[in-house]
């Protein structure tokens, strides 16, 4: 297994602390492997024995009986009694257990244990869990592979190992960053079939089944609209009007509901606009991005003329991985693709395919108008060396993605 140090470093900060470690993210993004890596790291200690490890993966029928929360609780307590020292608890896809929050809170109180859990739904940390474990858990959000991670994983597939960095980036744009693609035969048919199966699994398990969606056809149309318009500014009302014009009978509330459940399954991300001059979040005309471009292309095909939105999508996810809060910027009549905020820092970023005489002012102009001294960067696929003009950096996208 390849260690994903971005996440292992976060986990290590809380190992053996009285904090529940909660790994969240869409299915197949690598949570299970990271959980296994944490388990192996603890087992490698000289003072840890096998009976101190309690590990369950609820995607396996082997643990079907433990989906009864009372049985799960009793089984954990029995394991804690047999353990010679602290019990290390690893539970994968915990949301498969009804009332799992009560189990985790109880074992945290009733035995000497260190708890690690994963889940594929953003609602995992809302409601009762937030109340029961307030101040006693930390969320570690797991994303598909960054480009830096992608390059490492690509070396494990003999069809990819000899490719250039530019070829890898082209494939990253086309097939996305789910770790499992590097175990596949490296051709369109095999990869897109694998990705399409994952998309259908997430849609059925984490959206339709978990939220009792009745109109699956409508849900699919909304997903396709969102995927077809990544990087474009629009609202739920725009989707409502589009579908209504197609003859669909629906309400605006249904559109909002379906978008929210898609967000909860980590399939899409909504990015609100921020008025830079007025310093406030705007309530209309947001943008949407997908969690993995490979899923988009497996569903609706890869199109070269979508390149600007695809590049934005990649930069958006990279900013999230690096811990930034991201908004779309409004600067008067102009737009700044991303305002990334972290504590007291800001970073303004424009993304474009290639800089030309016709678009250079359009990309640099909005950044030049911002009257503060935070970092400002234009990211493009141009291969020239990074340079700074009027306090604004221009960087090649692969170099930007591989920066520390």
Nearest C-alpha neighbor of 117 from the set 138, 143, 132: 138
**pTM reported for the whole predicted model:** 0.94
Q: What is the pLDDT of residue 136?
A: 87
Predicted confidence (pLDDT) per residue in 351-362, tens digit: 999 988 888 888
* Mean pLDDT, the chain, integer: 93
Predicted confidence (pLDDT) per residue in 101-112, tens digit: 889 999 999 999
Edge-to-edge strand order for the sheet containing 87-92? 53-57, 87-92, 113-119, 20-24, 137-141
Q: What is the pLDDT of residue 7?
A: 97
- The DSSP secondary structure of 334-387, one letter per residue, reads EEEEEEEEETTEEEEEEE-S---TTTHHHHHHHHHT--S-SEEEEEES--SPPE
Q: Which residue has the tokens 């024995």?
A: 49
Burial class (CB in 10 A: 0-12, 13-18, 19+), 141: middle
Q: What is the pLDDT of residue 180?
A: 97
Non-local CB neighbours of 203 within 8 Å, separated by 6+ positions: 219, 220, 223, 265, 267
Reduced to 3 states (helix: H, G, I; strand: E, B; else coil), residue 68 is coil
Contacts of range 217-220, beta carbons closer than 8 Å, 24 or more positions apart:
218/243, 218/248, 218/250, 218/254, 218/258, 219/258, 219/262
CA 362 to chain CA centroid, nearest Å: 30
Question: Number of C-alpha atoms within 13 angstroms, CB side, residue 134?
Answer: 4
Regions of the chain where pLDDT drops below 70:
127-130, 385-387
Cβ(360)–Cβ(344) below 8 Å = no
Cβ(222)–Cβ(255) below 8 Å = yes
Q: What is the pLDDT of residue 32?
A: 96
Q: Which domains does the chain have, with CATH numbers?
A: 5-141 (3.40.50.300), 303-404 (3.40.1350.70)
Non-local CB neighbours of 162 within 8 Å, separated by 6+ positions: none
| Strand duo 280-290 + 325-331: pairing | unpaired
Q: What is the pLDDT of residue 385?
A: 65
Q: What is the pLDDT of residue 276?
A: 86
Q: What is the pLDDT of residue 121?
A: 85
The β-bridge partners of 387 are 394
Tokens of 34: 């990271």
CA gap 390, 392 in Å, rounded:
6
CA gap 34, 52 in Å, rounded:
19
């Amino acid at each position: 297994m390849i260690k994903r140090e971005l996440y292992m470093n976060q986990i290590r900060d809380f190992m053996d602390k009285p904090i529940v470690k909660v790994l969240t993210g869409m299915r197949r993004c690598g949570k299970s492997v990271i959980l296994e890596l944490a388990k192996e790291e603890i087992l490698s200690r000289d003072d840890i024995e096998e009976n101190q490890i309690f590990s369950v993966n609820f995607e396996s029928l082997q643990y079907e009986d433990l989906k009864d929360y009372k049985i799960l609780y009793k089984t954990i307590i029995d394991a804690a009694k047999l353990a010679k020292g602290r019990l290390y608890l690893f539970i994968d896809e915990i949301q498969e257990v009804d009332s799992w929050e009560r189990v985790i809170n109880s074992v945290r109180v009733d035995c000497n244990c260190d708890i690690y859990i994963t889940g594929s739904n953003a609602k995992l940390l809302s409601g009762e869990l937030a109340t029961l474990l307030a101040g006693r858990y930390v969320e570690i959000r797991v994303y598909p592979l960054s480009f830096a991670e992608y390059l490492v994983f690509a070396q494990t597939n003999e069809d990819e190992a000899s490719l250039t960095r530019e070829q890898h980036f082209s494939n990253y744009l086309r097939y996305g960053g789910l770790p499992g693609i590097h175990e596949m035969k490296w051709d369109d048919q095999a990869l897109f079939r694998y990705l399409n199966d994952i998309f259908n699994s997430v849609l059925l398990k984490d959206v339709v089944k978990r939220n009792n969606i009745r109109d699956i056809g409508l849900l699919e149309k909304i997903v396709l609209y969102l995927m077809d318009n990544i990087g474009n500014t629009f609202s739920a009302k725009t989707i409502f009007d589009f579908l209504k014009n197609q003859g669909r009978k629906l309400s605006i509330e249904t559109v909002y509901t379906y978008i929210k459940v898609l967000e909860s399954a980590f399939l899409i991300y909504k990015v609100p606009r921020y008025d830079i001059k007025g310093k406030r979040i705007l309530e209309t005309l947001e943008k949407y991005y997908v969690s993995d471009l490979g899923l988009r292309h497996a569903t609706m095909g890869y199109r070269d003329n979508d390149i600007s939105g695809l590049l934005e999508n990649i930069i958006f996810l990279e900013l999230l991985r690096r811990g930034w809060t991201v908004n779309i910027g409004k600067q008067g009549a102009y737009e700044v693709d991303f305002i990334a905020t972290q504590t007291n820092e800001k970073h303004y970023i424009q993304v474009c395919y290639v800089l030309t005489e016709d678009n250079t002012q359009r990309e640099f102009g909005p950044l030049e108008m911002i009257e503060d001294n935070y970092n400002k960067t234009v990211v493009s696929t141009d291969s020239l060396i990074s340079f700074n003009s009027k306090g604004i950096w221009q960087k090649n996208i692969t170099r930007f993605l591989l920066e520390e």
